[in-house]
Structure 1
Amino acid sequence: MLHTELLHALALLKVDGIGDIVAKKLITHCGSAQAVFEAKKKALLAIDGVGEVLFKKLQDHSVFQLVEKELQFVEQQNISCLYYQEASYPERLKHCIDGPLVLFQSGNIDFQNRKLINIVGTRQVTPYGTEFTKKLIADLAPLNPIIVSGFAYGIDIVAHQAAMENNLQTIGVLAHGLNQIYPKMHQKYMAKMEQNGGFMTEFWSTSNPDRENFIKRNRIVAGMCEATVVIESAEKGGSLITANLANDYNRDVFAVPGRVSDKFSQGCNNLIKTQRAHLLNSAADLIYILNWDLQEKKVTPIQKQLFVSLTDDEQKIYDYLQNKQPELMDIIALDCDLPIFKISSLLLNMELKGVIRPLPGKLFEAI
């Protein structure tokens, strides 16, 4: 993006009364951010929502001094600025009417041909939530998705760590500028995240991690991803805001069920009960509903594999499907005397090993 256009785009955001939605409307009408500031009064007043007050504010060019100072910081820190009309801007976020006009980015993020999901949940994560998050990401690793979260305590940092452990890109969407990190104790993870992933924010270096910023940043987390996964949540919480935003953006939402007596399962259970989220038992559920193609990630087909290693349970399933196929997941679990929560993971592992394949309607057959 040309420095001049970026300068004017950022200046628009510093004009009192102009946010992302109004800024995009002005740019669309005038042709560019620079053209907005150069437009005649009659042309601007012809735009719906623009009156005398806003026109006068656009004539105050003192905002450019603030922008120049911010751009100096950006250049010194080697931060990238992603304009909403550029190819480097997250594709799905372009289609969100309230998506940020400009995003600031640090690290080494590659959005090309990648699956993006966000994983969110309570800051007071339980051992159950921790283990589920780690296993989910490990099982999804062969598909090489980008894991997005908010870099907060609890589920967020567990998801980022699990992604790094599985050599996956991971992105932390921040509620403040890139001149600081919150919470401070997570600073130790920054260098490794920026090697394969990094950080994004719409907030300037003058912004603090204020409460309203966390709510605002949730729309970026939801909007840039194909799906939102809520691992654990109380009846009220920030992760439920992200889930609601994802639904508003027509994204898939998944929630991990829990016992009705567990405080940090209430939010997830309510999402499922009110049909605002798919029930998520394992990675296989997400892969099936999102229709992610495993073919390119499978190992060599079974007829070419002479030494495929199967666990006892996997061997039981494989022998069963060889004699009676194709079959539904629920029937496989029943006939093989295996719990349904375990069968999904087993089938996914077998699929990755190339010994079975999924069919429409949640059917599976041996290869």
Structure 2
Amino acid sequence: MVDEQNIYEVALTKLPGVGSQLIRVLVSYCGSPRGVFEATPGKLLKIPGLGNTRVRGLLDGAKGALLEAEQILKQAEELDVQPLFYTSAKYPDRLKQIADAPVLLYYRGNANLNQKRIISIVGTRQVTSYGQTVTERIVDELKQFSVMVVSGLAYGVDIIAHRAALQAGIPTIGVMASGLDIVYPAAHRKYAERMLTQGGLLTENVFGTKPDAPRFPARNRIIAGMSDCTIVIEAALKSGTLITADIAHSYDKEVLAVPGNITSPVSEGTNYLIKSHKAAAYTTAQDLVELLNWDLEDEAAARAKTNSPSFDASEFNPDELKVLQVLQQSKEEQMDNLSWKAQVPVSLLASVLLNLEFRGIVRALPGKRFRLLT
């Protein structure tokens, strides 16, 4: 059965002349996607950036957008596709923090898009035997760290990374430049189908969307945005791979590049990234571990597991448990970070923390920081 809330979420993306930024503004002012469609013209006119012409266009297009959304969701239900609005708990949290992130994703699969460790692997379609060997080695090295591998399902490095992840039992996500009903290239359909049970397929594009050229750079921002680090295997100086690396760099995400043969055209891009300090060199998995402080995280988690107090879950409500679980890992957090990690709105988090403080479980510190008392 089609969820009514999903209808309004999808319909927002089908309103003429309404982009992602405006959708966020509309939802913020109206309280919910449904609230946007139920708002009076007078209320809409009070929203910054909305004039008479745009409000009239929004109202005139509402009915058609809702009908189109119903059809999209019926198809999604038939194909077992989940629409993920940016307010959904299943929407990738890392991507949510980025200004140009899509407000709606279509997802089919079984992986957790908010897994603790997510790495994207990208590279040239004209991969060399060296690039293939290195890609397979990197994926094999990452297996011990419980990562999820993200790539673009394309020829070359992308599909080698997906295939290696499948063989290693690592969840892997293919981010598509088309609708989920169009696997491109078609030759990779068998891998895409396997990924549905060991990862998944993700796109911002509605069903029937063909992989036109401008959609690939847009696809690349999702690959970079939902990962902790982007690893570039091989790339020419002018390539979509370097665009992905530049996007990741602009998002303040870590980038690693594999050094390559100085006589190879597909190593010019990776060597340039390292030389220009836009990427650190990847030689072993330890480079990634140290860059992302995974070793320190694991040590802290081990100490926390040994020393952290055990709580009776029956004594706390769900939001309190979410907060306690985060603080058990880090011991101390700033309020905004705690809200994001626990997925508890700041407006609600204040009362949750106050209640825990009264019970002697949490202490408030200067700078809106909170510490778990042991």
Shorter-chain TM-score category?
0.7 to 0.9
Instruction: Determine the C-alpha separation between the residues in 2 that align with 1:221 and 1:283.
Output: 20
Q: Distance in 1 between matches of 2:250 and 2:42?
A: 36
* TM-score for the superposition, normalised by structure 2: 0.76
Aligned residues with identical type, % of pairs: 41
Q: 1:112 to 1:222 in 2, by over 3 A?
A: closer
Residue number in structure 1 paired with 2:180: 178
Q: Distance in 2 between matches of 1:177 and 1:245?
A: 22
Computed over aligned residues only, the root mean square deviation of the Cα atoms, in angstroms, reads 1.8
1:94 aligned to 2:85?
no
Q: Which stretch of the first structure deviates more once superposed, 140-149 or 40-49?
A: 40-49
Letter in 1 for 2:295: D
Give distance in 2, aligned partners of 1:139 and 1:17.
46
Q: Deviations for 1:171-199, whole angstroms, at most 9, x for unmatched residues?
A: 00011111121000001112321111010
What is residue 345 of structure 1 aligned with on the other side?
A: none
Cα distance between partner residues in 2 of 1:118 and 1:150: 9
- Per the alignment, residue 361 of structure 2 pairs with none
Corresponding residue for 1:44? 44
Q: Which of residues 267, 270, 274 is equivalent to 1:268?
A: 270
**Number of residue equivalences:** 297
Tell me how far apart the structure 2 counterparts of residues 227 and 268 of structure 1 sit (CA, whole Å): 15
Q: Following TM superposition, by how much is the alpha carbon of 1:113 offset from its aligned partner in structure 2, in angstroms?
A: 4.4
TM-score, with length taken from structure 1: 0.78
Larger mean Cα displacement after TM superposition, 269-278 or 139-148: 269-278
Larger Rg: 1
Output the CA distance in 2 between the equivalents of 1:28 and 1:274.
40
Shift of 1:57: 1.6
Q: CA deviation at 1:12?
A: 1.4
- Cα contact 1:255–1:272 (8 A) shared by 2: yes
Between 10-19 and 180-189, report the one with greater CA deviation: 10-19
Aligned to 1:259: 261
1:315-334 equivalent positions in 2, closer than 5 A: none
Query: Structure 1 residue 40: deviation in Å?
Result: 2.1
CA drift of 1:206 comes to 2.5
1:202 and 1:163 map into 2 onto residues whose CA distance is 23
2:236 aligns to what SS in structure 1? coil
CA pair 113-193 structure 1, distance change in 2 beyond 3 A: closer
Aligned partners of 1:4 and 1:249: how far apart in 2? 34
SS of the equivalent of 2:21 reads helix
State the partner residue of 1:29: 29
Contact residue 5 and residue 32 of structure 1 kept, 8 A? no
Gaps of 5+ in 2: 300-374
Runs of 4+ that moved beyond 4 A: 294-297
Give per-residue Cα distances to partners, 1:280-313, cap 9 Å, x unaligned.
112111111111138869xxxxxxxxxxxxxxxx
CA distance in 2, matches of 1:112, 1:84: 13
Match of 2:18?
18
Q: Which segment is superposed worse, 222-231 or 258-267? A: 258-267
Partner of residue 320, structure 1: none
Q: Where does residue 8 of structure 2 map in the other structure? A: 8
Check conservation: 1:228, 1:252, Cα contact below 8 A: yes
Distance 1:70 1:41 in 2: 27
Q: CA deviation at 1:56?
A: 1.4
Q: Secondary structure at the match of 1:177?
A: coil
Match of 2:193 in 1: 191
Deviation at 1:114, TM superposition (A): 2.5
Unaligned runs of 5+ in 1: 298-367
Tell me how far 1:42 sits from its aligned partner: 2.8
Corresponding letter in the other structure for 1:100: P
SS of residue in 2 equivalent to 1:103: strand
Contact 1:119 1:156 in 2 (8 A): yes
Instruction: Report the CA distance shift for 1:183/1:227 in structure 2 as closer, same or farther (over 3 A).
Output: same
